[in-house]
Structure 1
Amino acid sequence: MRARFVSATPSEPAPPPRDGRQSAAALLVARGTRRLLRRLDFASVTELPLLSGRRADIVALSAGAELLIVEVKSSVADYRADHKWRDYRAHCDQLYFAVPASMPLDIMPQDAGLIVADAYGAAILREAPRHKVAPATRRAVVTRFAQAAAHRLHALSDPDAAGAEAF
């Protein structure tokens, strides 16, 4: 039996996992934000389940295991309807909001970083305050990050694998 290898076409990047909750605008903000994070030498995954049961929009990891969480807000209504972001602080060293340029920036919390993004890139307007996450939490989040990334890569080459849709 001969092994078959599946290669991804560079012109067709794999879409992020979608669970139907993200608006088209939120997906574009996330894309531009992830491009910024990559330029800053962070790897990132979207929609990562955390220990608390919450699901972070973007979790970024540096080579030194620094953890960032970015909460994507695509509109004023989206921001006002969701206050679970405060729970994310216990799972990261820095917490950011990423928003489109059309969003009024004065409504965003001052105790979090602020990123403005579109589909092609992003800029950090305000650095997030730093607070070290507990070592046991860091290890758990990094492990979840690695497992999610590995499972998602596996699902690209073997979409029929058991459990491929879970990550």
Structure 2
Amino acid sequence: MMEDLQPGQKLARGVARYLRSLGYAPLEEFVPVRGLRVDVMALGPKGELWVIECKSSRADFQSDSKWEGYLDWCDRYFWAVDLEFPTELLPDGSGLIIADPYYAEIIRMAPEDKLPPARRKKLIQKFAMDSARRLQALRDPRLGRDGLLLGGAGDGTPEE
């Protein structure tokens, strides 16, 4: 399974493991709003929301033109890169996490820019709904991406 992951996904896995050790609930490939997909969104124990973008190479970083749009959807914004990444490319004023496929560590804490309460509430609700749907899809593989049953339910195929 590890060999099926792209380099950025491997970093995201290590970041997610680290965040869990800090008491955060990470969710990979979260869409806060149409048109934006963050690599990792993490919900903290006090309701704080962090966005972590995983960059596996210089080219990966330089091809990302949407990252500044993520700043409006989190309290703290981090880059996660491996030890070989040229960190001088990363913008000042953001957090830095060094990661590998198995673990990570915060090197520079991101500055805090608290979300407005209404946006925070909306994001936490979307985070919870997306998480619950993903869990249910894992437990019931007959569910499609939209949460509707594939086959069964009156279409002539037996229910499982």
Q: TM-score range by the shorter chain?
A: 0.7 to 0.9
The TM-score with structure 2 as length reference comes to 0.85
Gaps of 5+ in 1: 1-11
Partner residue in 2 for 1:3? none
**SS of match in other structure, 1:155:** helix
Q: Distance in 1 between matches of 2:56 and 2:42?
A: 19
Greater Rg by CA: 2
Q: Distance in 2 between matches of 1:164 and 1:126?
A: 39
The CA RMSD over aligned residues, in Å, is 1.9
Gaps of 5+ in 2: 149-160
Give the drift of 1:74: 0.8
State whether structure 2 residue 15 is matched by structure 1 residue 33: yes
How do 1:96-115 residues align onto structure 2 when only pairs under 5 Å count? 96-115=78-97
Partner residue in 1 for 2:152? none
Partner residue in 2 for 1:89? 71
CA contact (8 A) 1:100 1:117 kept: yes
> More relative contact order in 1 or in 2 (CA 8 Å, sep 6+)?
1
How many residue pairs were aligned? 146
**SS of match in other structure, 2:56:** coil
Partner residue in 2 for 1:148? 130
Q: Distance in 2 between matches of 1:148 and 1:84?
A: 22
State whether structure 2 residue 33 is matched by structure 1 residue 51: yes
Aligned residues with identical type, % of pairs: 38
Q: 1:100 to 1:93 in 2, by over 3 A?
A: same
Deviations 1:110-135 (A, max 9, x none): 11100010011111111000010111
**SS of match in other structure, 2:84:** coil
